[in-house]
Amino acid sequence: VGETGEGFLGASLYIGCIGGAAIAGKLSDQYGRKKSLAVSAIFFAISCIGTALSHNIYFFIFNRLIGGLGVGMASILSPLYIAEIAPEKIRGRLVSVNQLAIVIGIFITYFSNYILLKQFGYNSWRWMMGVGVIPSLLFFISVLMIPESPLWLFIKQKIAASLNVF
Protein backbone atom coordinates (compact mmCIF):
# COMPACT_ATOMS: atom_id res chain seq x y z
CA VAL A 1 0.00 0.00 0.00
CA GLY A 2 2.80 2.42 0.88
CA GLU A 3 2.69 5.58 2.93
CA THR A 4 0.50 7.46 0.45
CA GLY A 5 -1.98 4.61 0.34
CA GLU A 6 -2.10 4.42 4.12
CA GLY A 7 -2.69 8.15 4.28
CA PHE A 8 -5.54 7.88 1.81
CA LEU A 9 -7.04 4.97 3.78
CA GLY A 10 -7.28 7.26 6.79
CA ALA A 11 -8.31 10.35 4.83
CA SER A 12 -11.06 8.58 2.89
CA LEU A 13 -13.40 8.86 5.87
CA TYR A 14 -12.87 12.61 6.00
CA ILE A 15 -13.37 12.98 2.27
CA GLY A 16 -16.73 11.27 2.76
CA CYS A 17 -17.46 13.65 5.64
CA ILE A 18 -17.14 16.60 3.28
CA GLY A 19 -19.71 15.04 0.96
CA GLY A 20 -22.05 14.13 3.81
CA ALA A 21 -21.93 17.61 5.29
CA ALA A 22 -22.52 19.09 1.82
CA ILE A 23 -25.67 17.05 1.15
CA ALA A 24 -27.14 16.92 4.66
CA GLY A 25 -28.97 20.23 4.53
CA LYS A 26 -30.56 19.64 1.15
CA LEU A 27 -31.64 16.10 2.05
CA SER A 28 -33.07 17.13 5.41
CA ASP A 29 -34.92 20.08 3.89
CA GLN A 30 -36.48 17.80 1.31
CA TYR A 31 -37.11 14.58 3.24
CA GLY A 32 -36.99 15.62 6.88
CA ARG A 33 -34.50 15.56 9.71
CA LYS A 34 -35.61 12.17 10.99
CA LYS A 35 -35.34 10.35 7.65
CA SER A 36 -31.99 11.97 6.94
CA LEU A 37 -30.63 10.91 10.33
CA ALA A 38 -31.86 7.38 9.60
CA VAL A 39 -29.98 7.42 6.30
CA SER A 40 -26.80 8.48 8.09
CA ALA A 41 -27.22 5.55 10.50
CA ILE A 42 -27.63 3.20 7.52
CA PHE A 43 -24.45 4.61 5.99
CA PHE A 44 -22.65 3.93 9.29
CA ALA A 45 -23.84 0.31 9.36
CA ILE A 46 -23.01 -0.34 5.70
CA SER A 47 -19.54 1.12 6.22
CA CYS A 48 -18.85 -0.99 9.29
CA ILE A 49 -19.88 -4.22 7.60
CA GLY A 50 -18.21 -3.31 4.31
CA THR A 51 -14.86 -2.37 5.80
CA ALA A 52 -14.83 -5.48 7.98
CA LEU A 53 -15.49 -7.67 4.95
CA SER A 54 -13.18 -5.83 2.57
CA HIS A 55 -11.32 -8.05 0.15
CA ASN A 56 -9.15 -5.31 -1.34
CA ILE A 57 -8.04 -1.75 -0.69
CA TYR A 58 -10.54 -0.23 -3.14
CA PHE A 59 -13.54 -1.85 -1.46
CA PHE A 60 -12.17 -0.76 1.91
CA ILE A 61 -11.79 2.86 0.76
CA PHE A 62 -15.24 2.82 -0.84
CA ASN A 63 -16.79 1.74 2.46
CA ARG A 64 -14.81 4.33 4.40
CA LEU A 65 -16.20 6.97 2.04
CA ILE A 66 -19.73 5.69 2.76
CA GLY A 67 -19.01 5.91 6.48
CA GLY A 68 -17.75 9.43 6.00
CA LEU A 69 -21.02 10.38 4.32
CA GLY A 70 -22.81 9.18 7.46
CA VAL A 71 -20.44 11.05 9.78
CA GLY A 72 -20.73 14.26 7.76
CA MET A 73 -24.51 14.05 7.65
CA ALA A 74 -24.87 13.26 11.35
CA SER A 75 -22.45 16.04 12.34
CA ILE A 76 -24.76 18.56 10.66
CA LEU A 77 -28.14 16.97 11.36
CA SER A 78 -27.81 15.98 15.01
CA PRO A 79 -27.26 19.49 16.41
CA LEU A 80 -29.80 20.85 13.91
CA TYR A 81 -32.44 18.39 15.09
CA ILE A 82 -31.63 19.04 18.75
CA ALA A 83 -31.83 22.81 18.24
CA GLU A 84 -35.19 22.51 16.48
CA ILE A 85 -36.84 20.21 19.00
CA ALA A 86 -35.35 21.28 22.34
CA PRO A 87 -37.00 23.82 24.62
CA GLU A 88 -35.25 27.19 24.48
CA LYS A 89 -34.01 27.03 28.08
CA ILE A 90 -31.98 23.84 27.58
CA ARG A 91 -31.20 24.01 23.85
CA GLY A 92 -27.55 24.99 24.23
CA ARG A 93 -27.01 22.42 26.95
CA LEU A 94 -28.42 19.62 24.80
CA VAL A 95 -26.29 20.56 21.80
CA SER A 96 -23.28 20.48 24.16
CA VAL A 97 -24.34 17.03 25.38
CA ASN A 98 -24.28 15.97 21.72
CA GLN A 99 -20.61 16.94 21.56
CA LEU A 100 -19.94 15.10 24.81
CA ALA A 101 -21.64 11.99 23.39
CA ILE A 102 -19.33 12.15 20.36
CA VAL A 103 -16.23 12.30 22.57
CA ILE A 104 -17.50 9.46 24.76
CA GLY A 105 -18.19 7.42 21.62
CA ILE A 106 -14.66 8.00 20.38
CA PHE A 107 -13.29 6.95 23.78
CA ILE A 108 -15.38 3.76 23.77
CA THR A 109 -14.15 3.00 20.25
CA TYR A 110 -10.52 3.37 21.27
CA PHE A 111 -11.11 1.29 24.39
CA SER A 112 -12.90 -1.53 22.55
CA ASN A 113 -10.21 -1.51 19.84
CA TYR A 114 -7.54 -1.76 22.55
CA ILE A 115 -9.30 -4.77 24.06
CA LEU A 116 -9.65 -6.42 20.64
CA LEU A 117 -5.98 -5.74 19.89
CA LYS A 118 -4.85 -7.25 23.19
CA GLN A 119 -7.15 -10.24 22.76
CA PHE A 120 -6.58 -11.07 19.09
CA GLY A 121 -3.52 -9.11 17.97
CA TYR A 122 -3.09 -7.09 14.81
CA ASN A 123 -5.37 -9.35 12.80
CA SER A 124 -8.32 -8.04 14.82
CA TRP A 125 -8.74 -5.02 12.53
CA ARG A 126 -11.79 -6.58 10.86
CA TRP A 127 -13.47 -6.88 14.24
CA MET A 128 -12.48 -3.31 15.05
CA MET A 129 -14.26 -2.13 11.90
CA GLY A 130 -17.23 -4.46 12.19
CA VAL A 131 -18.11 -3.87 15.83
CA GLY A 132 -19.26 -0.37 14.88
CA VAL A 133 -22.41 -1.91 13.43
CA ILE A 134 -23.75 -2.24 16.99
CA PRO A 135 -23.91 1.51 17.78
CA SER A 136 -25.01 2.11 14.17
CA LEU A 137 -28.04 -0.10 14.64
CA LEU A 138 -28.77 1.41 18.05
CA PHE A 139 -28.64 4.87 16.45
CA PHE A 140 -30.99 3.74 13.67
CA ILE A 141 -33.48 2.23 16.13
CA SER A 142 -33.31 5.37 18.28
CA VAL A 143 -34.02 7.58 15.27
CA LEU A 144 -37.14 5.53 14.52
CA MET A 145 -38.49 6.44 17.97
CA ILE A 146 -38.08 10.22 17.75
CA PRO A 147 -40.62 12.59 16.22
CA GLU A 148 -39.93 14.62 13.12
CA SER A 149 -38.68 18.15 13.72
CA PRO A 150 -41.59 20.50 14.38
CA LEU A 151 -39.89 23.23 12.34
CA TRP A 152 -39.55 20.94 9.31
CA LEU A 153 -43.20 19.90 9.66
CA PHE A 154 -44.23 23.55 9.86
CA ILE A 155 -42.18 24.46 6.77
CA LYS A 156 -43.84 21.58 4.90
CA GLN A 157 -47.28 23.01 5.82
CA LYS A 158 -48.04 20.17 8.24
CA ILE A 159 -49.19 22.59 10.91
CA ALA A 160 -51.25 20.15 13.03
CA ALA A 161 -48.42 17.63 13.16
CA SER A 162 -45.95 20.41 13.95
CA LEU A 163 -48.05 21.67 16.85
CA ASN A 164 -48.50 18.12 18.10
CA VAL A 165 -44.71 17.57 18.24
CA PHE A 166 -44.08 21.05 19.61
Task: Say what percent of the chain tops pLDDT 70.
Answer: 100
Average pLDDT estimate for 50-74 = 96
Residue 31 DSSP SS3:
helix
| Residues 8-23, mean pLDDT to the nearest whole number | 94
Task: Give the tens place of pLDDT for each residue, 85-98.
Answer: 999 999 999 999 99
SS (H, E, C) 116-153: HHHHHHHHHHHHHHHCCHHHHHHHHHHHHHCCCCHHHH
DSSP letter (8 states) at residue 88: G
**Mean pLDDT of the region 57-82:** 96
Q: What is the mean pLDDT of the chain?
A: 94
Quick count: other Cβ atoms within 10 Å of Cβ 67?
Answer: 27
pTM metric for this prediction: 0.91
User: For 99-151, how does the pLDDT look when each residue is reduced to its tens digit (9 = 90+)?
Assistant: 999 999 999 999 999 999 999 998 899 999 999 999 999 999 999 999 999 99
